[in-house]
Amino acid sequence: MKITAKEIASLVGGEVLGNPDVVITRPGKIEEGGEGIITFLANPKYEPYLYQTTASAVLVSRDFEPRQPIQATLIRVPNVQEAVALLLERFGTIDEHPKGIASSAEIHATARIGQDVAISDFVVIDKEAEIGTGCILYPYVYIGAGVRIGSNTILYPGVKVYRQCAIGNNCIIHANAVIGADGFGFAPQADGSWKKVPQTGKVVIEDDVEIGANTVIDRATMGQTIIRQGAKIDNLVQIAHNVEVGAHTVIAAQAGIAGSAKLGPHCQIGGQAGFVGHIKVAEGTRVQAQSGVAKAVTQPNQALQGSPAFGYMEYNKAYAVFRKLPQLYRKIHELEKQLKEVLKTQKSQ
């Protein structure tokens, strides 16, 4: 693909500073550069690379003022991240998606398949499943009995969707994710063994959700495990039975959410964060990486850190003291010695 800086500026609502006719062929990293590359500057830490890059064009914020001469053409935009997302979509590989229905796919006679779908090799679609218009199923996808998938949803290789689960429109589920595996339900027995509790519910994923590779979302014991509209879930996340993830909540890799926890809308969950079961987490809660949320969060828009998690600023203050504990201990020990000397002197007098 070839496009000029002027055309890119028109696409992203930007303003060109430099050669508007420079030809762009692909995006790349600012520190690597290269002829025909367009890159971006969003993090001030990378500004030194801007003055060295051999990239042909760089997206910068509208108010950015360079402090040194720059070889590349600049494209000033209102929002760098949004412009990058738009460009990556433009330069994306959507044309490389598979087409048509492969002869090796196994589709049950009672399954309903929409128009303009792509079903790749060795896909299995069980009885009474429904695949919406424009869906793309990569090789080795399994769709269980009675599953419903909306329009324009993409399932990458090896995705497994168990029986009766529902996935909305415009969703993306990456390789080897499992939707609807049994929840972790076992009842203790008198002899010390564990008896499996049947998991009779399902998973409901609403529209515009993206789920990362190797993530598992368990079916409900009864009722539904629900991922609300616009939620974005990273790789290697575990979501247990009867959990509800609020609309437009984002969850980073290796986080774990125990059964029946309810996360509100617009939450931001850092990597390796953990949540105990049966709690509610208020709208807009931000949980830092590796934190453990052990009780309900009732006040919206809090930032939490620690295990168990508590207020972000309080955590930072506490951690600052924690790091000084060896020094404080030595100081206290010295003061104790001085106090003993003072008391000894007073006693002798």
| Torsion angle of C-alpha atoms 99, 102, 106, 112, degrees rounded to 10 | 40
- Does the 99-313 domain belong in CATH 2.160.10.10? yes
Q: What is the pLDDT of residue 90?
A: 80
Residue 307's alpha-carbon distances to 32, 238, 272, 282, 337, in angstroms, are 39, 18, 11, 18, 36
Q: What is the pLDDT of residue 93?
A: 54
The model's pTM is 0.79
Q: What is the pLDDT of residue 319?
A: 86
Task: Indicate if 241 belongs to the active site.
Answer: yes
Q: What is the pLDDT of residue 160?
A: 98
Q: What is the mean pLDDT of residues 57-64?
A: 95
pLDDT tens track for 183-198: 999 999 999 999 999 9
Q: Look at 53-57, 70-74, 146-150, 305-309 and tell me which has the smallest mean pLDDT.
A: 305-309
Of 97, 108, 241, 248, catalytic? 241
Q: What is the pLDDT of residue 312?
A: 86
Q: Please give the share of the chain, as a percent, with pLDDT higher than 90.
A: 86
How much is the mean pLDDT over the chain? 95
Q: What is the pLDDT of residue 95?
A: 53
Q: Which tokens in the block code for residue 114?
A: 């929409």
Does residue 1 surpass a pLDDT of 80?
no
Q: Please give the share of the chain, as a percent, with pLDDT higher than 70.
A: 99
Query: How confident is residue 98, by pLDDT bands cut at 50, 70 and 90?
Result: confident
pLDDT tens track for 297-332: 999 999 999 888 888 888 888 888 888 999 999 999
Q: What is the pLDDT of residue 234?
A: 98
For the chain, residues classed under CATH 2.160.10.10 are 99-313
Q: What is the pLDDT of residue 250?
A: 98
For the chain, residues classed under CATH 3.40.1390.10 are 3-92
**3-state helix/strand/coil string of the chain:** CCEEHHHHHHHHCCEEECCCCCEECEECCCCCCCCCEEEECCCHHHHHHHCCCCCCEEEEECCCCCCCCCCCEEEEECCHHHHHHHHHHHCCCHHHCCCCECCCCEECCCCEECCCCEECCCCEECCCCEECCCCEECCCCEECCCCEECCCCEECCCCEECCCCEECCCCEECCCCEEEECCCCEEECCCCCEEECCCCCEEEECCCCEECCCCEEECCCCCEEEECCCCEECCCCEECCCCEECCCCEECCCCEECCCCEECCCCEECCCCEECCCCEECCCCEECCCCEECCCECCCCCEEEECCEEEHHHHHHHHHHHHCHHHHHHHHHHHHHHHHHHHHHHHHC
Does residue 94 surpass a pLDDT of 60?
no
- Does the 3-92 domain belong in CATH 3.30.530.20? no
Sequence-separated (6 or more) residues with CB below 8 Å from residue 308: 292, 293, 294, 295
Q: What is the mean pLDDT of residues 246-272?
A: 98
pLDDT tens track for 205-253: 999 999 999 999 999 999 999 999 999 999 999 999 999 999 999 999 9
d(CA 158, CA 148): 18
Q: Which residue has the higher pLDDT, 348 or 117?
A: 117
